Amino acid sequence: MNETIKIFHGPQHPGVTGNMSMELDLDGETIVKATTHVGYLHRGFEKLIERRTAIQAFTIVCRICVPEPDPNEENFARGVEELAGLTISERAKYIRVMVLEMARLQAHYLWMAGQGGSIGHEVVPQWAVGERDFILDLFEQLTGGRVYHMYIYPGGVKRDLPDGFLDRLRDLLDTLERRLPEYDRIFFDNAGVKKRLQNVGVVKRDEAIANGYTGPVIRACGIQRDVRRDSPYLVYDQLEFDVPTQTGCDAYARALVRRAEMDQSIRILRQIIDRMPAGEIQCKLPKHRKFKLPKGETFVQTESARGAYGFYMAGDDSEYLRRLQVRGPSIVHAYTLLEPLLVGAQLSDVALIMNSLGICPPEIER
């Protein structure tokens, strides 16, 4: 009779496969049971925000997902605006889309670095982290911060574009677009990468629909779902872009979806550069202590690099939110999906599967 052994994958490693812990029961190197444990990273955001005014709280939401904080800022700002009846300018909308697509692009580079490192491909992490840094350079010029930006603000954005910013962004897009075929050659078309990712972490199409999976996970099952297209916000309905899909349903299909999305983000950013309107970046707001949210509720969504991101927000005629609830992709991807998906997988595939799902642990214990 075989005896199982129990090990913990994380939280001692950096990145998504480390700041949450997977309790694994193993028969040899085959996983027979997987249990998710969270709470090893910052948490409790919903209650922290409810105990601060709406203006104070905007600095907190970006920390819910470190690899891509900007969708949280946009959700929070747009939710406050809907509750307060604020209308932002076209220029502010275009700048927000620019920020969101830059954030999506750098998040995909970070994912590529993590997945390459999990496979043992040493070149890809170095390249991807380096080119992500060029995007972070632009974020630093725009917002003053490289990771946390606190830039998308109720009523618009915090400051206008620096002189020459759009030209620098266009030059960077040229560089990234020229370099991406090299990633295809050494990573996405690499026989070793295909062997490690194909037929690993297979998600059934009907389960993806029934359980509300989102982002690259559901699009890798051949389902064309994207909040930007299905429920347009800001100026996405004025922009041309495709929603890439694959039908392999495995970790490799999810990788190909992300790769194609990088091309689409560059395509969107080029349109933003060409169409950026003039105008104000911030509508007039009441004084901080007089900024009250009327009684009412709203639900807003953005499409992050990892999938649909939703904020439920309710006001009660005070400067505080009566209720905030965050629904990020990790809630279904790290529990409903990850635990059964790991059963039958090999120990060496755990990091690959987790990376392919796009998990941010603070979204779970929020």
Q: What is the CATH number of the domain that holds 255?
A: 1.10.645.10
Which pLDDT score is estimated for 203? Answer: 95
- The whole-angstrom separation of Cα 124 and Cα 104 is 18
Which pLDDT score is estimated for 288? Answer: 67
246: helix, strand or coil: coil
The boundaries of the domain holding residue 131 are 5-363
Asked if 252 and 231 count as a contact pair (C-beta separation under 8 A), the reply is no
Which pLDDT score is estimated for 289? Answer: 66
- Residue 147 burial by CB count (10 A; 0-12/13-18/19+): exposed, middle or buried? middle
Q: Length of the chain in residues, anyone? A: 366
Q: How many structural domains comprise the chain?
A: 1
- The whole-angstrom separation of Cα 259 and Cα 237 is 23
34: β partners: 24
pTM of the predicted model as reported, rounded to 2 decimal places: 0.95
Phi, psi of 312 (to 5 degrees): -95, 130
Contacts of 119 (CB under 8 A, 6+ apart): 192, 193, 196, 197, 352
> Which tokens is 350 given?
């755990």
Which pLDDT score is estimated for 62? Answer: 87
Which pLDDT score is estimated for 17? Answer: 61
Contacts of 267 (CB under 8 A, 6+ apart): 240, 241
Asked if 68 and 101 count as a contact pair (C-beta separation under 8 A), the reply is no
How many helices (H) and strands (E) the chain has is answered by 14, 8
- The whole-angstrom separation of Cα 288 and Cα 97 is 26
Q: What is the mean pLDDT of each run of 10 residues along the chain (366 residues)?
A: 81 64 92 88 85 87 89 95 94 98 97 91 93 97 93 94 97 97 96 95 94 95 96 97 96 97 98 97 80 92 94 92 91 90 93 90 81
User: What share of residues in the chain are helix, strand, coil (percent, to 5)?
Assistant: 50, 15, 35
CA contacts within 13 A on the Cβ side of 331? 13
